[in-house]
Structure 1
């Protein structure tokens, strides 16, 4: 999946927005003002995963811990095109859900997530 494909998947999720807090060459996808995925200037992709997915993906070498965000269970893919599109789309959907679940109930309702 390329940068445009990641954007298409992320922005199709409920309440998702695109921001550029780290410069125009970085795409940060957010829900409720909180990031769930980032595409870097060189095309790498980082996203939030569950504790179990973090262990599995990093131990088998499919992903590496995301710089600066690994302690929050984010993984990084150097080239998202190496992953099947449907599998990556599922991970991005899960990342969105993990972040959305931590939003206050009133905010989730306002975004149509409750």
Structure 2
């Protein structure tokens, strides 16, 4: 996935907004809260997203994936796909979906209704 594809995919989600900040990073938000970031890599695009505690433990040590700089060091469960082999495009999209769902679920029910966000998925 490249930056253009990342932006197109994130932009398809309900009630999202896009800003460029933090050194030319593409930052995607739902309800004003960040769910995905593209940037922060020296030679290539890096994709940062929120994950469940289990995914953080399982994926955090895989080649091409690391705890997200700045965010994970503050105790947040965020990962960054920054190099190969990392994640396939399909896997990355799945993690972006989960990140969106996790962040949207943290919004109040009133805010979700106001923004037209479906009820959070339950497991």
Moved over 6 A (4+): none
- Rounded to whole Å, the distance in 2 between the matches of 1:80 and 1:94 is 21
* Aligned CA-pair RMSD: 1.8
Q: How does 1:8-87 map to 2 (within 5 A)?
A: 8-23=8-23, 25-42=24-41, 43-70=45-72, 71-79=75-83, 82-87=86-91
C-alpha spacing 1:79/1:6, structure 2 compared with 1 (3 Å): farther
Q: Give how far 1:61 is off.
A: 3.7
SS across alignment from 1:4 = helix
Number of aligned residue pairs: 113
Question: Structure 2 regions of 5+ residues with no counterpart?
Answer: none
Q: Is the 8 A contact 1:44 1:80 kept in 2?
A: no
TM-score relative to the length of structure 2: 0.83
Q: Give how far 1:17 is off.
A: 1.3
C-alpha spacing 1:62/1:21, structure 2 compared with 1 (3 Å): closer
- Aligned equivalent of 1:98: 102
More helix by share: 1
* CA shift digits 1:26-80 (9 cap, x unpaired): 1000000000111115421111011110000013345111111111100011138
Question: Structure 1 regions of 5+ residues with no counterpart?
Answer: none
Q: Is the 8 A contact 1:16 1:31 kept in 2?
A: yes
* CA shift digits 1:64-113 (9 cap, x unpaired): 11111111100011138853211111110110000000001111111111
Q: Quick one: higher RCO (CA 8 Å, sep 6+), 1 or 2?
A: 1
- Rounded to whole Å, the distance in 2 between the matches of 1:81 and 1:8 is 22
C-alpha spacing 1:54/1:30, structure 2 compared with 1 (3 Å): same
